[in-house]
């Protein structure tokens, strides 16, 4: 009987202890600054309880949480340098309960170093400096998002607080700013961007199309230039395409990419100034002194119903292709290449069209306008 009484008392004490520490229906939750910016402090908090003890555990490894000395408030101040990244939890008491929260991860932002992109039409000197001449363009684009300030010769530029800076004069440029997520974390470019302005006009490349010399585009003043490159606006896509660094090019070498063009040259002269030529085309708009081999004239142009191609000599195996201005092939057929051939335009809408003639001797494009 005495043993039974002892067992009953022990059982009662066990269930009392279970109710005291095991049946807590409130689990503390941690909120606050769980993502910190570099060089910043934050505060994490929990609810209102009777007592608190904060714990910290390293991000990796199997270490047990360690009680933080003196961390016995409902909030805990954390900082980027000492506490990121790590797991945090808090143990609280209320009424007769003692319970610990789930762990939360305190993390922080990491950013790439700031950089500047340079866009525009200009050249670069031997030491990496940007060279601007009259008519050249230069825009700096900063990688940071907010609180931006541009500097010239280490002095702030008035109202220069956007990502982009249009540069029109020489000097040493740099910028500072912050990422959008951390607007108070100001980062400096860390180097100067040197710009040299030269108050001179660029030498413009002079170009011409010679269809009586094998359909050749040539730079006429190449001796005045130190660098050049041919480009074309693709007839098919209107995209600017690099073609060649040669001083002269053959039209049909780039026909698949460019078709009728137009073509143009970007050059740099002895002053390191950049210029673009006027556009030239592989399309003949009229026939005069530089008559294409074997084709005397195409008429009438503009036309209402048809065009006629008059030959100065027989052209055997001649074929034509007719394109609209978008590059869509509309018609193709063989031609006699004798005396005069006629091509019907009556079924076409008013607009600009291109006819391409080709055989073993002739490869030539012509622009025709339908009224």
Can you give the pTM of this predicted structure? 0.70
Condensed to tens digits (0 to 9), the pLDDT of residues 233-257 reads 886 677 999 999 999 998 778 877 8
Q: For residue 284, name the pLDDT band (cuts at 50, 70, 90).
A: low
- Hey, is 19 helix, strand or coil? helix
Q: For residue 356, name the pLDDT band (cuts at 50, 70, 90).
A: confident
Q: How far apart are CA 84 and CA 264, in angstroms?
A: 56
Q: Whose structure tokens read 């137009």? A: 262
Most confident of 192-196, 246-250, 324-328: 192-196
What pLDDT, on a 0 to 100 scale, did the predictor assign at position 118? Answer: 96
Lowest mean pLDDT among 132-146, 153-167, 255-269: 255-269
Residue 9 has pLDDT above 90, yes or no: no
Q: In terms of C-beta density within 10 A (0-12 exposed, 13-18 middle, 19 or more buried), how is residue 337 classed? A: buried
The DSSP code sequence of 225-250 is EEEEEEEEE-TTT--EEEEESSSEEE
Q: Whose structure tokens read 């269930």? A: 15
Q: Contact, 164 vs 158, CB < 8 A?
A: no
CA-to-CA dists, residue 283 to 44, 162, 179, 280, 312, angstroms: 73, 45, 51, 9, 19
Q: Contact, 165 vs 150, CB < 8 A?
A: yes
Q: How far apart are CA 49 and CA 72, in angstroms?
A: 11
CA 223 to the chain's CA centroid: 36
Bridge partner residues of 22 (DSSP): none
Sheet of 164-166: strand order equals 116-119, 139-142, 164-166
> H or E segment at 4?
helix 2-21
CA atoms within 13 A on the CB side of 206: 6
Q: Is the bond preceding residue 84 a cis peptide, omega within 30 degrees?
A: no
Q: How far apart are CA 148 and CA 167, in angstroms?
A: 16
Rounded (5°) CA angle 100-102-108: 125
CA 79 to the chain's CA centroid: 36
Condensed to tens digits (0 to 9), the pLDDT of residues 93-141 reads 998 899 999 999 999 999 999 999 999 999 999 999 999 999 999 999 9
Residue 62 has pLDDT above 50, yes or no: yes
Average pLDDT, the chain: 87
Q: How far apart are CA 44 and CA 22, in angstroms?
A: 26
Q: How far apart are CA 178 and CA 146, in angstroms?
A: 5
CA atoms within 13 A on the CB side of 249: 24
Q: Whose structure tokens read 């993502």? A: 35
> H or E segment at 2?
helix 2-21
Residues 6+ apart with CB under 8 A from 289: none
What pLDDT, on a 0 to 100 scale, did the predictor assign at position 214? Answer: 56
Most confident of 9-23, 71-85, 297-311, 345-359: 71-85
Residue 60 has pLDDT above 50, yes or no: yes
What pLDDT, on a 0 to 100 scale, did the predictor assign at position 14? Answer: 36
């Amino acid at each position: 009987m005495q043993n039974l009484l002892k067992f009953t008392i022990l059982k009662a004490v066990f269930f009392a202890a279970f109710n005291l520490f095991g049946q807590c229906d409130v689990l503390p939750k941690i909120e606050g600054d769980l993502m910190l910016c570099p060089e910043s402090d934050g505060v994490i908090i929990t609810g209102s309880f009777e007592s608190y003890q904060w714990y910290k555990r390293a991000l990796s490894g199997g270490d047990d949480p360690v009680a933080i000395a003196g961390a016995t408030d409902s909030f805990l101040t954390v900082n980027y340098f000492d506490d990121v990244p790590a797991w945090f939890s808090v143990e609280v008491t209320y009424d007769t309960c003692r319970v610990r929260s789930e762990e939360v991860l305190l993390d922080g932002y990491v950013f790439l170093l700031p950089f500047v992109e340079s866009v525009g039409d200009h050249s670069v000197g031997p030491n990496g400096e940007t060279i601007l001449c009259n008519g050249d363009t230069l825009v700096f684009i900063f990688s940071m998002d907010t609180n931006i300030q541009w500097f010239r010769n280490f002095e702030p530029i008035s109202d220069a607080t956007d990502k982009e800076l249009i540069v029109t004069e020489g000097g040493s440029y740099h910028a500072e700013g912050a990422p959008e997520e951390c607007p108070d974390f100001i980062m400096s470019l860390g180097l100067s961007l040197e710009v040299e302005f030269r108050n001179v006009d660029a030498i413009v490349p002079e170009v011409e199309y010679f269809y009586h010399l094998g359909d050749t585009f040539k730079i006429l003043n190449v001796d005045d230039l130190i660098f050049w490159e041919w480009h074309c606006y693709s007839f098919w896509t209107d995209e600017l395409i690099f073609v060649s660094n040669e001083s002269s090019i053959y039209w049909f070498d780039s026909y698949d990419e460019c078709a009728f063009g137009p073509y143009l040259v970007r050059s740099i002269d002895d002053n390191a100034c950049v210029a673009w030529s006027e556009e030239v085309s592989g399309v003949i708009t009229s026939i005069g002194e530089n008559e294409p081999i074997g084709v005397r004239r195409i008429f009438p142009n503009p036309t209402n119903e048809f065009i006629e191609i008059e030959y100065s000599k027989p052209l055997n195996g001649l074929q034509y292709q007719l394109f609209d201005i978008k590059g869509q092939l509309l018609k193709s057929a063989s031609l006699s290449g004798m005396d005069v051939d006629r091509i019907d335009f009556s079924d076409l809408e008013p607009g600009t069209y291109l006819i391409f003639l080709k055989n073993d001797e002739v490869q030539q494009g012509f622009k025709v306008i339908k009224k």
